[in-house]
C-alpha cells in the first residue's frame, strides 16, 4: 500500500482516526467536556435543567434559543399534543412491519414514510416539522409495539400533556405514577442534546447538502442505532441481566476484562473523568429500583461500576444507569434506544436549524492508502 497525501499545500490538514479531537465547526447549543463548564444547553447547566425543567421546556430552549414563558410553554405543549395523530397510511405501514423488527428500524422507516406523506416544502416549515416529529414519535413507536403484542390499535392522541407521560401511558395502557413520569422526564432531558456526537454530526452532514429535514433525521436515527452510540444502553442492560448477584457480577466481569471483552456503558470519547449526566440518572435509578423492589438489579449495577473503576479507571456514562432505571419503569430492553430518539429529535432538529442558518457543505479529506497509479490491463491479458 502507498500513502499519497491528499493534504492542502499549506499542510494544515491532519489525519485523526475517527476525527478524534478535530474541530469540525461551531455550535451554540451545548458544551461537552469543557473543563470547568460541564454540560450545558445554551448556557444552562444540565444539573439545573434536570432538577427544575420539564423536557418540553428543554425542547423549546433548543429549538427557539431561550426558555419559554408560561404562555409560550402552554402553546408549545398544545402544539406537540396536536401533532400526535398518525396518518392512516403510516398506520398501515406500521402494521406491516414485522414484530421481529428492531424498534429503531420502525422509527427510521416511519420517519422516512412521514416525509413522503407530509414533505417539508420549504425551509420555513422546519420548526413545524420538528414539532410534528416530537409529537408523533412516541405514538408511532407504541402503535407498532402494541399492535404486534396484542393486536390492539391504540389511540396515539391520549396520554396526558407531556411526552414522558404519554410514552408510559401508551406503553402500559394506563395512567402512570407521578414518580415514574418525572423520572422519564429527567431521562429525556439528559438525552436531548450532546454537541457533535455521531448521530448529530450525521444529521448536520445531511443538512449541509440542503437535503430535507426528514432525510437528516432518518440518517441520524440510523447512526444512533449502533451499539457504540445509542445502542449502548441496551447492551448495558443485557450485561446486567446476565448477572445473578453482585459477587457473581464481579467474578464474571473480571473474566471478561481478562479476555479484553468490551464492557458497554463505560467511558466516553470526550469526557475524561466523569459523565455529568451519569450522577443524575444514577440517583433516579436507585430511587426507582427501591420503589419497584428491584434493588438487586441496582446492587449488581453498582458492583459493576465499582469493578470498572478499580480495574480500568473507567466511569459509567449516561447509558449505564439508564438501563436499570428503564427496567424499573417496565420498559422492554429493545425500547431503550428508541427513547433516546424521542428525546434527541429536539437536539437533532436544533442542529439542523443551526447548520442551515450558516451552511457550508461538510466535506472532509481522507488520506489515500491504496495502490500506486497503474496502467489499465485488457481483460484477455489478466492472469
81 within domain boundaries: yes
Residue 43 clears pLDDT 80, i.e. is over it: yes
- Quickly list DSSP for 64-97: HSSPPPHHHHHHHHHHHHHTT---HHHHHHHHHS
**Number of structural domains in the chain:** 2
Residue 59 lies in a domain: yes
**Stretch 117-124: mean pLDDT:** 95
Q: Is the pLDDT of residue 303 over 50?
A: yes
Dihedral sign for Cα 78, 214, 233, 140, please. Answer: positive
pLDDT for residue 21 is more than 90: no
* R_g of the chain, CA atoms, integer Å: 22
22 in a domain, yes or no? no
Q: Is residue 40 part of a domain?
A: yes
- pLDDT of 17 over the 90 cut: no
pTM of the model: 0.92
CA atoms within 13 A on the CB side of 247: 0
CA dist 119 and 212 (Å) reads 8
Question: Domain containing 159: what range?
Answer: 30-179+193-223+344-357
Q: What is the mean predicted confidence (pLDDT) over 65-73?
A: 98
Are 199 and 276 contained in the same domain?
no
In whole angstroms, give the CA distance from residue 379 to residue 372: 20
- Do 240 and 111 share a domain, yes or no? no
Same domain, 206 and 102: yes
CA distance 266 to 275: 9
CA 167, CA 343: separation in Å to the nearest integer?
11
- Once rounded to an integer, what is the mean pLDDT over residues 328-350? 96
Domain shared by 165 and 261, yes or no: no
200 assigned to some structural domain: yes
**What average pLDDT does this structure show over 39-44?**
96
CB of 233 closer than 8 Å to CB of 326 = yes
Residue range 28-54: average pLDDT? 91
In a shared domain, residues 65 and 210: yes
How confident is the model at residue 271, as a pLDDT?
76
Res. 4 pLDDT band, cuts 50 70 90: very low
What's the average model confidence in pLDDT over 141-161?
A: 96
CA distance 154 to 138: 12
Q: How many CB atoms lie within 10 A of CB 309?
A: 13
Grouping H, G, I as helix, E, B as strand and the rest as coil, residue 356 is helix
Asked if residues 94 and 107 have their Cβ atoms less than 8 Å apart, the reply is no
Helices (H) and strands (E) in the chain, counts: 16, 3
Residues with a catalytic annotation lie at 229, 268, 319
Q: Are residues 129 and 269 in the same domain?
A: no
How many C-beta atoms lie closer than 10 Å to residue 273's C-beta?
Answer: 9
Would you state the cell numbers that stand for residue 256, as one nine-digit string? 471478561
What is the rounded distance in angstroms from the CA atom of residue 40 to the CA atom of residue 21?
A: 19
Which residues on adjacent β-strands are paired with residue 44? Answer: 41
Residue 219 has a CB neighbour count (10 Å cut-off) of 22
Beta bridge partner(s), residue 45: 40
Amino acid at each position: 500500500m502507498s500513502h499519497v497525501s491528499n493534504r492542502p499545500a499549506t499542510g494544515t490538514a491532519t489525519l485523526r482516526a475517527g476525527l478524534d479531537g478535530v474541530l469540525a465547526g461551531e455550535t451554540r447549543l451545548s458544551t461537552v467536556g469543557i473543563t470547568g463548564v460541564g454540560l450545558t444547553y445554551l448556557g444552562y447547566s444540565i444539573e439545573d435543567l434536570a432538577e427544575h425543567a420539564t423536557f418540553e421546556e428543554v425542547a423549546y430552549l433548543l429549538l427557539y434559543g431561550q426558555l419559554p414563558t408560561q404562555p409560550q410553554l402552554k402553546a408549545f405543549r398544545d402544539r406537540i399534543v396536536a401533532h400526535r395523530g398518525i396518518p392512516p397510511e403510516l398506520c398501515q405501514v406500521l402494521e406491516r412491519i414485522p414484530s421481529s423488527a428492531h424498534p429503531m428500524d420502525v422509527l427510521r422507516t416511519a420517519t422516512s414514510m412521514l416525509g413522503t406523506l407530509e414533505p417539508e416544502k420549504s425551509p420555513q416549515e422546519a420548526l413545524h416539522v420538528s414539532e410534528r416529529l416530537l409529537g408523533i414519535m412516541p405514538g408511532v413507536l407504541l402503535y407498532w409495539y402494541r399492535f404486534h403484542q396484542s393486536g390492539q390499535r391504540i389511540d396515539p392522541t391520549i396520554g396526558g400533556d407531556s411526552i414522558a407521560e404519554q410514552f408510559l401511558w401508551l406503553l402500559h395502557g394506563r395512567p402512570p405514577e407521578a414518580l415514574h413520569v418525572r423520572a422519564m422526564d429527567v431521562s429525556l432531558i439528559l438525552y436531548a442534546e450532546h454537541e457533535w456526537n455521531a448521530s448529530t454530526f450525521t444529521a448536520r452532514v445531511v443538512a449541509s447538502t440542503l437535503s430535507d429535514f426528514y432525510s437528516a433525521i432518518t440518517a441520524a436515527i440510523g447512526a444512533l442505532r449502533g451499539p457504540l452510540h445509542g445502542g449502548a444502553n441496551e447492551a448495558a442492560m443485557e450485561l446486567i441481566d446476565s448477572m445473578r448477584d453482585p459477587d457473581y457480577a464481579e467474578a464474571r466481569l473480571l473474566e471478561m476484562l481478562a479476555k479484553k471483552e468490551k464492557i458497554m456503558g463505560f467511558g466516553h470519547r470526550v469526557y475524561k473523568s466523569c459523565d455529568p449526566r451519569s450522577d443524575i440518572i444514577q440517583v433516579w435509578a436507585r430511587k426507582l429500583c427501591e420503589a419497584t423492589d428491584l434493588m438487586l438489579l441496582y446492587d449488581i449495577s453498582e458492583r459493576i461500576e465499582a469493578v470498572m473503576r478499580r480495574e480500568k479507571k473507567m466511569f459509567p456514562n449516561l447509558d449505564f444507569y439508564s438501563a436499570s432505571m428503564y427496567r424499573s419503569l417496565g420498559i422492554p430492553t429493545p425500547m431503550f434506544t428508541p427513547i433516546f430518539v424521542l428525546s434527541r429529535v429536539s437536539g437533532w432538529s436544533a442542529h439542523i436549524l443551526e447548520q442551515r442558518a450558516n451552511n457550508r457543505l461538510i466535506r472532509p479529506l481522507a488520506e489515500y492508502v491504496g495502490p500506486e497509479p497503474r496502467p489499465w490491463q485488457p481483460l484477455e491479458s489478466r492472469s
